[in-house]
Structure 1
């Protein structure tokens, strides 16, 4: 059955250099994300001027076409028209893919690992937030069957996150997703979790600053487990899968075809899983603890300044896709201390961006701009700001700068007051539910989040409304008129 996006899909495929130029295609909340063999073959100007495309970004080794909230439907149509499989990935040997810089490669890996689960991550986060609200107002108690079942939905996703990320990371890196799942399962296995809470049988690195109690051994080597095990963790599984994929590809080359099907997973798992518990897990655990401590120290020294910087720069991060780097930091913080104080400083920025767009919508006389601004405003309230950024504020430059400065004000309020969130998930107005403290049922973080949002929106709206002016189109000169008539 033909889709209403058939024409747009054909234009996109043709102007990214054709199917032969496409290495892979995925999508996030608003963007089609292509990896192209040769980006110079893409007709960027044509794509930017095509109705249905907000803009085009080339960042992080990806050729990103910003569509908007209906990107999923456009993605499906592009796959149908181009006869692509879901999350198409050509064989690595057949692709001369250009090397990315270390920073771009890291962002590409993080975004590719989290993009497939972003929608569900947000959904279950909202469920956890709403349950906290229902408990606060006495609508449900923790012993109610309704609460228990919904809490299972909201909590289990985070509890078994290593399994989920094991699959998506393996797919992103071109490995066997079931090997990734198996590594994640071993990290969440109940007996392993119970070991982390058992009585210590010894101390590793005794007499040093790295002295750590251990609860079991593997071939006589102490196994250092974090408190509570590896459930809900992020970095250890991604690093473990990275090495698993490298080993898997090596084994694919040396193991005979007749036994490859089961010997490759066998040797990969029997090497990587113990390595994860003995080396990868402890090392990444130390690094994550250091990073968490670093951010806590920064916020402890000056939460006001840290919040202002993160809040003011967040929309810039979105443009370059760097905002993905905050996701594992936030999840790591939640797993370590039970809350995140990093992303809260950036949360009001989405609302500030919408206020800027609303001011332009009310002030502008440009009907074409108003048609873009109103949907972008509505989309922004639900946490999707790309249409606002690329379609309205960034092209106008000054409004984008105003929104960043106002976001810095909101971020300073959030950071200065130590606002925290207690669950991942939820975008825009739905994110507020994740700021209710489920243990104390305190509305402190929710209340100050609302204050920070309203202050930032007010600052941005007022300044934009006062300073914004539609661009005056210059009248054609006599020479230009004569030239046009001659044609």
Structure 2
């Protein structure tokens, strides 16, 4: 039965091991990750964090320390102290400096992710709602002139209409600006196109918005300075730029003004300066920049829709791993909010569902209950758009399924590009967000191709992973799962390996290069007394340890100092590096095999720092024993001299039987 996780406790454990509250400049969360901006990354105890129940993995990208949780990230975030998660906690003092990546790319990724991550949930929700409404109209389930439709459409469309206000909040938190001043600034931009005012148009006093007045040929000026008005509903970049400049202005004003008047005089001066400045320069520049970035990608798409579809589909999950996918998010949103359609994001659907398909393929093939459960839950999360459990927990560690998923995504991306499939809303790609591929106007009918491309990628990844995605470790684990009865003795003493049932006569080769030491002379009474079995000791002169026989790895000590193998005939062989080396806690040891893996004689088991062990006064004598010598007598072939890797050193006799 799965252990129930206390997310408040998990939040406290994570915070403690990132250096405590005093080491956190800011923290936000997206759909699956806690994203920390830390003052000192050296204070992080990453090994502890990765082992916490509920933590999938950790990632450092864009100056952020990211803890991948999965679907329950919001519950962990809620368990963090209010001083970190309250709105006010992210409004930094004027002199504060948040540390992060010193590179331009790192800073850009950090800024974009911090601004957009908090709003992706609601954005996906309203995107799905608009897609479902479009589908309902297409199938004549609802009349788009009915008030029911209009009310639901308002619920879905309001987010995008007032997007500058929403982004003003997250931008202010990121840049350390006053949130409420930023919201007022964004509201002023929208006011010019939403609120009717009295203006003099060609000698006649009329009531219209300033934007309509400008579009009708009226002159809009501020203190004689001409202003080119734009539509700011649904825009992204203008308000981000404006709030950034606002934060710089506030910082300077707060240094100059006395604290007794700072609370109300700073917002007054900021609004008097920023509203006309934004309308005159920053706003139009932001609109131009957003359209420019979109035009670049659109030009690439126009040059070769198929190639663009393939590249986005193949590279999307790679970009997600490194966090640089945030650079495309504003372009996707800009395309939808300005043009009402985006031909680029459609290729992300095959990218996401192919990872889910690869995890599902492993779920169908794996036999180990824990691995099967992990793959199944990761596949389910991936189907609904959350790929971190699949990528970090299942496909990427095995490499082959991850690459199969990328190739499968490329096929889906090619279909997207070839058929011109598009999306008309925003949201994390997944099963529930497929409705954003429905054209609200009914002019396009590419939703079928979007679904087809997504399903093709999913099933290709599933099928090819099922047949070709298993690693040697997975194959060995499957074989062990069929034969074993729940042997979980990885942390047990090697001598506790279960008894075999076969008989053999064979030779074991030397696992290391060095000088032979008779077992009776080994400086450990447990080994030298023969209580653990017969065998031999070798004083190593090299730092690599190899398999002395063909077999299955049954024990890999977490400290990397001991390995248990079982031959096909049932002989249990222990290779123990050094005397009392368990106390080193794994320092100086590197494992090259895992439990359940099949190995051949001469395969590399481990490496160790021979000189470091000697400098610490550690006895490096490496022991090789047959731990079930009571059934399989083991005798050394020689008692002295130099030995090379692969040379026979122990003879294992036929299995001895005892009468009842």
Same fold (TM over 0.5): yes
Q: Does 1:195 align with 2:210?
A: yes
Q: Paired residue for 1:209?
A: none
**Corresponding residue for residue 458 of structure 1:** 459
- Does the Cα contact within 8 Å between 1:201 and 1:216 map onto a contact in 2? no
* 1:164 CA drift (Å): 1.1
Report how far residue 201 of structure 1 moved.
Answer: 6.9
Structure 1 residue 285, shift from structure 2 partner: 2.2
User: What is the alpha-carbon distance in structure 1 between the residues aligned to residue 361 and residue 215 of structure 2?
Assistant: 61
The CA deviation at 1:393 is 0.7
**For structure 1, which segment, 431-440 or 364-373, has the greater mean C-alpha deviation from structure 2 after superposition?**
364-373
Alignment of 1:178-327 (within 5 A): 178-189=180-191, 190-191=194-195, 194-198=209-213, 200=215, 215-226=219-230, 229-327=231-329
Give 3-state SS (helix, strand or coil) of 1:474's partner.
strand
Q: In 2, Cα distance between the equivalents of 1:78 and 1:198?
A: 50
For 2:148, the equivalent position in structure 1 comes to: 146
Structure-to-structure mapping, 1:70-81, within 5 angstroms: 70-79=72-81
SS in 2 for 1:56: strand
Matching of residues 76-475 of structure 1 within 5 Å:
76-79=78-81, 84-86=84-86, 88-89=89-90, 91=93, 93=95, 97-98=99-100, 100-189=102-191, 190-191=194-195, 194-198=209-213, 200=215, 215-226=219-230, 229-425=231-427, 427-440=429-442, 442=444, 444-470=445-471, 471=473, 472=476, 474-475=553-554
Q: Is contact 1:126–1:426 with CA below 8 Å preserved after alignment?
A: no
* Structure 1 CA distance for aligned equivalents of residues 576 and 373 of structure 2: 30
Q: 1:485 to 1:246 in 2, by over 3 A?
A: closer
- Alpha-carbon distance in structure 2 between the residues aligned to 1:247 and 1:486: 61
Distance 1:105 1:25, change over 3 A: same
Helix, strand or coil for the counterpart of 1:480? strand
Kindly indicate whether structure 1 or structure 2 has the higher relative contact order, using CA contacts under 8 Å at least 6 residues apart: 1
Contact 1:314-1:349 at 8 Å conserved across structures = yes
CA RMSD of aligned residues (A): 2.4
- Rounded to whole Å, the distance in 2 between the matches of 1:282 and 1:136 is 37
How far is the alpha carbon of 1:19 from its aligned partner?
Answer: 2.6
Deviations 1:334-372 (A, max 9, x none): 233221112111122111111100001111123222121
Deviation, structure 1 residue 139: 2.0
Cα distance in structure 1, aligned partners of 2:103 and 2:94: 18
- After superposition, the Cα gap between the structure-2 partners of 1:181 and 1:362, relative to the gap in structure 1 and judged at 3 Å, is same
Matches of 2:446 and 2:247, distance apart in 1:
41
How far apart, CA to CA, are the structure 2 residues paired with 1:150 and 1:356?
Answer: 37
Aligned to 2:575: 480
Q: In the aligned structure 2, how far is the partner of 1:412 from the partner of 1:440?
A: 24
Change (3 A) 1:383 1:152: same
* 1:36-60, Cα deviation, whole Å (9 max, x unpaired): 1111111112221222110010111
Q: Is the 8 A contact 1:16 1:43 kept in 2?
A: yes
Tell me how far apart the structure 1 counterparts of residues 46 and 318 of structure 2 sit (CA, whole Å): 21
Contact 2:123 2:427 in 1 (8 A): yes
1:78 match: secondary structure: coil
Deviations 1:292-326 (CA, angstroms, capped at 9, x unpaired): 22222211110100111111000011111222222
**1:18: how far off?**
2.4
CA distance in 2, matches of 1:63, 1:92: 24
Q: What CA deviation, in whole Å up to 9, does each residue of 1:48-103 have, x standing for no partner?
A: 122211001011111111111011112222337xx744364464646673553211
Q: Against the structure 1 CA distance between its residues 200 and 368, is the aligned structure 2 distance closer, same or farther, given a 3 Å change threshold?
A: closer
Q: Deviations over 1:109-136 (max 9, x none)?
A: 1111112211111111111111111111
**Contact 1:128–1:434 (Cα < 8 Å) also in 2:** yes
After superposition, the C-alpha distances for 1:180-211 in whole angstroms (9 at most, x for unaligned) are 10111011111489333446576xxxxxxxxx
Q: Is the 8 A contact 1:348 1:410 kept in 2?
A: yes
Q: For residues 469 and 219 of structure 1, what CA distance do their matches in structure 2 show?
A: 71
Q: How many residues align?
A: 470
Q: Distance in 1 between matches of 2:427 and 2:375?
A: 26
Tell which structure's C-alpha radius of gyration is larger: 2
> What's the TM-score once normalised by structure 1's chain length?
0.90
- 2:421 aligns to what SS in structure 1? coil
Are the counterparts in 2 of residues 351 and 381 from structure 1 also a CA contact under 8 Å?
A: yes
